[in-house]
Structure 1
């Protein structure tokens, strides 16, 4: 790609994600960074492949442009075998898919071509690179990202997409140096590390007096809420005056509620639904729990620590153990070990002095991921790519 110099007024930055409005941590991160970049003098455009069904609440006026290439999730291409090769309906569906894809790629190319010299496209998730590979990206610097750990990506279909699409990017960013080292050992040579940023530090931390354990996340397999329910079944008999509040929405909710009922936990578990006020939920909690099967650099964990709420979590990714210093400002358990996670929760719920000490240290320690510090790292990367 041609080396160019960014204008004095800032760069044109494209943040390209699966969606611009899906309820979830990556979408929240995308708009957080868009606000930061816009405030730093850049001209920001957030682009999503499609509009989401389960939406993240967003202000009507974001202060920057937002575009979705499709109104809904585009159809997945499927190999045509056997009799389907002779099916006129299958041919029509494939023709429509290709025509829609052509229009999406043309729209993406149009947006890129209108950018000023020195523009950068930050591809925040793996899937959108399928469209960028076909689009006109001449003159753009391309930064690819994943918001998963190396191990989680390695175990799923996205690994093949990374290996196919990201070697040609100007930089491929993992969330931690440990993940970056794993990608380098796997043969990637353009790798760097960039943590997520702490969104804000509440003025008044949680008092940690309410006997409430809090979980915040989508009710989906990755977040491991089924394992959290199993964990709570071990905790609840020892802490009959404590409540587990589960904030989030998702397709797994009916099965999770049924599991909760079968384990006799309905009186000690509250299903709070999705919330637009995570800080408020944390202010009413004394302990935060994260039971994910896989993570990248979880924002909810940082938000809990910023509220001085000590965390118990599965050590499921380098990002988790980079945020939480085990035994100092939180407690980690081996991935998937519900008995060990129950032990950590029993320790935190049963010892107010431990809760207070870890909560206060968490609030101080998590500030190393402040927006100001992370923005500085991004600016350093942009400057490096211009050379």
Structure 2
């Protein structure tokens, strides 16, 4: 799962433990068994995932797809109607959390209009504010589609302040909770680990090059890099590793749903993102007693990788990243010291603490809800 999916599962479990009834609403069917009651908006993902005719230059395929066009339109209308009725049926004792602006866009498409007797709306932004410069569509979509939120949450106080200026909606800092099941290990070996999506912003090629440069010295040649994950660039990175001739030291491990097991033998966690909202893998590694080597690419990253809990490298400086790796690999005592302090720091992100913070935000959001403003009038 990606960071957002992991967040949703962790916070849902913590809210449920606190006595809050949780339901998930997903635009698409999931890929694993649901742990909570789940409403799926578009049940036929293959039908709605992309255009049936546009961009398809094959006449036979266009002819074959033509009968499905009308069905797709009707199916989408039915799906949107179900979605609208579901949200419209929720009362003032419910909070609807939009973990992505796309879900609010789809609800708007359904023709839904808010009622004063309806639920509280809380929007969430799960990446850094600065990352909006890479996603201009999102910079436009946030103020347009989150304008009617009762509150918005961001990953750091800095991001919340900038988001409030952009949207005009009260914004609050809400940390991601630490997933359960991760405990400090005791047998860290000469292994660096990365838990990452194979997408362009993660700059996995930079990670590989930096690791190869750092371990070029004979005294560090025994170190290995294990990269867990999946994504569009997986095969490209396989080819890149073969071209570099480092397949014996850099290995792609495929997808894993067990971060604790992947981190158990590791001594370092690597992340080379171009932008990163919070870096949940940094927090998972910290809980396992594994310090991270990361680019200084966001306030969220800086909040997790402090001078004594990891290695923060100037943004996109490959040479500095390789040097930080060499330093961390050679100094066992300092690396272990930072790992211990990182583990202690991770306790600040215990799920029950995040639930308490979420509760305070929910109370504030309910106070700003049109229903509350109406009842305060004479």
TM-score band by shorter chain is 0.7 to 0.9
- Tell me, yes or no, if structure 1 residue 143 matches structure 2 residue 118: no
Query: Secondary structure of the residue that 2:180 maps to in structure 1?
Result: coil
Task: Give the conservation status (yes or no) of the 8 Å contact 2:215–2:326.
Answer: no
- Tell me, yes or no, if structure 1 residue 278 matches structure 2 residue 259: yes
Q: Which residue of 1 aligns with 2:180?
A: 200
Partner residue of 1:209 out of 188, 193, 200: 188
* Displacement after TM superposition at 1:130 (Å): 0.8
Query: Secondary structure of the residue that 2:297 maps to in structure 1?
Result: coil
- Counterpart Cα distance in 2 of 1:333 and 1:208: 26
Q: Which deviations, in whole Å up to 9, do the C-alpha atoms of 1:209-256 show, x marking residues without a partner?
A: 310000001112122212111212211212201000101112211110
Tell me the number of residue pairs that the alignment of Structure 1 and Structure 2 aligns: 352
Change (3 A) 1:48 1:284: same
Structure 1 range deviating more: 373-382 or 114-123: 114-123
Instruction: List aligned pairs for 1:29-178, cutoff 5 A.
Output: 29-51=7-29, 55=31, 58=32, 60=33, 62=35, 64-70=36-42, 71-72=44-45, 74-75=48-49, 96-133=71-108, 134-138=111-115, 139-156=118-135, 157-178=137-158
- Counterpart Cα distance in 2 of 1:286 and 1:215: 11
* Displacement after TM superposition at 1:169 (Å): 0.9
Q: Which residue of 2 aligns with 1:260?
A: 241
Task: Give the conservation status (yes or no) of the 8 Å contact 1:50–1:72.
Answer: yes
Q: Which deviations, in whole Å up to 9, do the C-alpha atoms of 1:61-103 show, x marking residues without a partner?
A: 62x211221131634579x9xxxxxx99999776555433322
Query: Secondary structure of the residue that 2:193 maps to in structure 1?
Result: strand
Query: Secondary structure of the residue that 1:43 maps to in structure 2?
Result: coil
Q: Which deviations, in whole Å up to 9, do the C-alpha atoms of 1:156-192 show, x marking residues without a partner?
A: 1221111210122111211111111222343533222
Q: Which has the higher helix share?
A: 2
Query: Secondary structure of the residue that 2:333 maps to in structure 1?
Result: helix
Query: Secondary structure of the residue that 1:237 maps to in structure 2?
Result: coil
* Displacement after TM superposition at 1:154 (Å): 3.5
TM norm structure 2: 0.86
Q: Which residue of 2 aligns with 1:8?
A: none
- Tell me, yes or no, if structure 1 residue 233 matches structure 2 residue 212: yes
- Counterpart Cα distance in 1 of 2:280 and 2:94: 27
Instruction: List aligned pairs for 1:240-259, cutoff 5 A.
Output: 240-259=221-240
- Counterpart Cα distance in 2 of 1:232 and 1:226: 10
- Counterpart Cα distance in 1 of 2:223 and 2:212: 12
- Tell me, yes or no, if structure 1 residue 24 matches structure 2 residue 5: no
CA RMSD of aligned residues (A): 2.5
- Counterpart Cα distance in 2 of 1:278 and 1:90: 42
Task: Give the conservation status (yes or no) of the 8 Å contact 1:105–1:135.
Answer: no
Change (3 A) 1:174 1:270: same
Query: Secondary structure of the residue that 1:382 maps to in structure 2?
Result: helix
Change (3 A) 1:281 1:89: closer
Change (3 A) 1:171 1:93: farther
Partner residue of 2:163 out of 146, 169, 183: 183
List alignment gaps of at least 5 residues for structure 1: 1-22, 81-86
Query: Which 4+ residue blocks in structure 1 deviate beyond 6 angstroms?
Result: 87-94
TM norm structure 1: 0.84
